[in-house]
Amino acid sequence: MASSSGNPRRSMLYHVLPVLVVFLSSSIEAKTRNPPNRRLMVLLVDGFRWDYADKHNLANFKRLESDGAKAGYMQNDYPTLSYPNYYTLMTGLHTENHAMTGNFMYDPDTKKFFLIGTNKDQFLPLWWDHGEPLWVTADLQNKSSYMFFWPGCEVTIRGRDPTFCDAYSKVPSIQEVADALDQGFLLITNGTADMVAVYSEQPDHYGHKYGPDAENTRLVLQDIDREVGKLLDRIAALTDDEKFNLVIVSDHGMTTIDPSRTINITEALTSEPGLYITIMESAALASIYAPNQEAEDKVHTLLKDFSDHMQVYRRQEIPDRFYYKNGPFVSRITCVADLGWTILQPLQPEFPKKGLSDMQGFHGYDNGEIDMRGIFYAYGPYFQPGSRVDHIQAIDPYSVMCDILELAPSPNNGTLSVFEPLKAVSAGSRDCPSVLPAWFFVVTLLAWKAVW
């Protein structure tokens, strides 16, 4: 082993270099917090239909059209249910690729059930590890993420967790959403958080209970609109160097239902024993898990011409445009109701209810239906004020959120280029993060050369 004792300059370097390394390493670590214009707040408003801003005269969502960016609508993934689209939005993958193909699922291989809000098995990796959500992408690249009421943020996915998760436990009140937006604003502006995500369920809750056109639904949408307005005011009051980005999305739309339009398949499926292991979902679709090929054939024969308002598909017959049939938890038989019709099945034979009352609204239908469309609004330095695109898909926001946060995205089905018309000219610079490592290399090289 060579000694440095014979060269004073070299000896000094051996003492100074570790200090230099520690200093520069700490500087590099500090640089992992994004500058404000590369920070992001995401607000997911469950069940916010694409036309609600106009239909219910929501002033601050209309303000986003002039001061921010907008897609005319967002086509959500099939089925137009919550969990499938929560995960599509946050992974950029179609449902068949991230495997979250329902709010309620069954795995014939493990005989496990995914039942939102009711069983512990819903947190098993087998349901979640097919996709990499944004907060995992962020954690893998040393960015911080703070999640409020976001379904699934409490699940360890691919061995990773968000920096902070206030787990969903009940429908968050408007005040709880307002408080989360306030906390998120502070976390971003004080440099703690690179990304904050807040979930609001009230529009979906009221849309189910009262219907998309009801006065009660309009009132809760106006409550959300007011909170969005307060947030926009706070961002607008920041200096240009302090401003961050806001993205607002929804997981699906909503349509009106009533008990006069039902398709009751209960009698057909109970005509003989052994036709199904279980049936997941109801109303807009029914997933029938037949135990074998013989049972599948019988179920298909019983149901294929059962109603003019229901399509019955074997797994391989499901339309390719749904990007659904190749999911590992998709059933042998899938029944798809026409818009506004509800399927009643043996395990859920009653018309869907909220509390003691019949539901007035539902979703989950064909994602080509206009009423199933969601929203995309954005505001901040990344986006050109007053810009608009005709439409995007739910697979697309993941890419643009990664771009805002300067993250290398996980492989996905989305397209970043669809956002080009929405981007501000100054949104694209990524040079700064690479300067410090280069400077560290040059300084070290020169110091080393000076003593040799």
How far from each other are the two terminal CA atoms of the chain, in whole angstroms?
17
Residue 154 CB: number of other CB atoms within 10 A?
15
| The pair of three-digit structure tokens given for residue 70, joined into one six-digit string | 């907008």
Long-range own/partner contacts, residues 167-175 (CB < 8 A, 24 or more apart): 168/199, 171/201, 171/202, 171/205, 172/148, 172/199, 172/200, 172/201, 172/202, 173/202, 174/202, 174/220, 174/223, 174/224, 174/227
The packing angle between helices 397-404 and 82-91, to 10°, is: 40
Question: Closest Cα to residue 366, out of 413, 309, 422?
Answer: 309
Q: Is 282 a catalytic residue?
A: no
CB-based contact 61:228 (threshold 8 Å)? yes
Of 82, 250, 287, 331, the catalytic one is: 82
Between CA 182 and CA 190 the distance in angstroms is 12
- Kind and range of the H or E element at 199? strand 195-200
Handedness of CA 175, 189, 47, 312 (dihedral sign): negative
Between CA 393 and CA 77 the distance in angstroms is 8
Question: Closest Cα to residue 345, out of 323, 308, 312?
Answer: 312
CB-based contact 177:198 (threshold 8 Å)? yes
DSSP per position, 11-44: HHHHHHHHHHHHHHHHHHHHTTSPPGGG-EEEEE
| The pair of three-digit structure tokens given for residue 292, joined into one six-digit string | 């074998």
- Kind and range of the H or E element at 65? helix 59-67
Distances (CA, A) of 452 to 1, 12, 185, 393, 445: 17, 12, 52, 59, 11
CB-based contact 450:27 (threshold 8 Å)? no
Single-letter residue type at 279? I
CB-based contact 19:225 (threshold 8 Å)? no
Q: Which ranges in 110-201 belong to alpha helices (H)?
A: 125-128, 134-140, 174-189
Q: Which residues are catalytic?
A: 82
